[in-house]
Every structure is written in C-alpha cells, then in structure tokens.
Homo-oligomer: A and B are copies of this chain.
C-alpha cells in the first residue's frame, strides 16, 4: 500500500493493489490556498480548451456567471487525471465518479468540461448537496475510484 500526498490531515489517495481510492477533490490551488473562481487561475492551455466550448469569452457579463463552475470543473478533473498518472494510470482507469454539485444548474457546464477529459462514457453519480469544504465558493467536488489492473 502507498499513501498519496497528504494535504492537511487527509490523504489525497490510497492505493491497495491495483485499486486507488481518492479523496473528494475540490478546486483549491494548494500553493495559494484559495478556491479557484476564475479563468485567470487556470493555465493557458486549459483556457484554450474551454474556449473551444464557448467559455472564457472575455465578456464580463457572461464570464461572471459561468467562470466559477467552469474553471472549477476543469481544475478538479485535471487533478484527478494527475492522481491517475501518479499511480501509473490514466483517466481510462476510472471505474466510478461520484460528483457533488452545490447547484445542479452548473451541471451543463460541468458536463461539457468533463467531455474534454472523458471522451468515453464514465460511471457517474451526480447529486446536489448543501455545501462543501472549505467554503461556500466551492461548487464542484468529485470523488474517483480507479482500477489500474489490465
């Protein structure tokens, strides 16, 4: 068994044989310790991907409503991809995602962004919950389970 990078007093993931169990991932930039709420907190390549979906328009009155959920969706799924890679796998090895949203009206945005990471259908559960850690700004939390075996 190996233990993932501890952030505070929880483990990012735990590996048991070919299985990897990840903690729920939210969009907090670990270096700055702040919740991601805008496109400016994403790398340039991410922004280009999101623009192909029609997001990150540069128009204030549009982005103000879409940016938090879109940017968090990208950040969270990118982090799950990184966990897979740390364990020698990829997103193909995801066997289930449990996705918690603060407002299901953000689902269309989350769903489009997820399509960038998962071109194939994925086993998915989605529910709207009241709040997530560490603050009300968090809109998306995703818990992933991986099987790295053949």
Contacts and interface: CB of A to CB of B under 8 A. Distances in A.
A95 B10 CA distance: 12
A133 B126 contact: yes
Interface string A51-62: 001100111111
Given A95-B14, A124-B11, A61 B112 contact: no
Copies of this chain, whole number: 12
Interface residues of A, number: 66
Given A10-B122, A98-B143, A127-B132, 18 more contacts: A4-B123, A9-B115, A10-B124, A11-B122, A17-B149, A22-B123, A23-B124, A24-B126, A61-B107, A61-B133, A62-B108, A62-B111, A104-B131, A105-B105, A126-B133, A127-B129, A128-B131, A129-B129
Interface of A: 1, 3-4, 6, 8-14, 16-17, 19, 21-24, 28, 33, 53-54, 57-62, 64-66, 95-96, 98, 100, 104-105, 107-108, 111-112, 114-115, 118, 120-135, 141, 143, 145, 147, 149-150
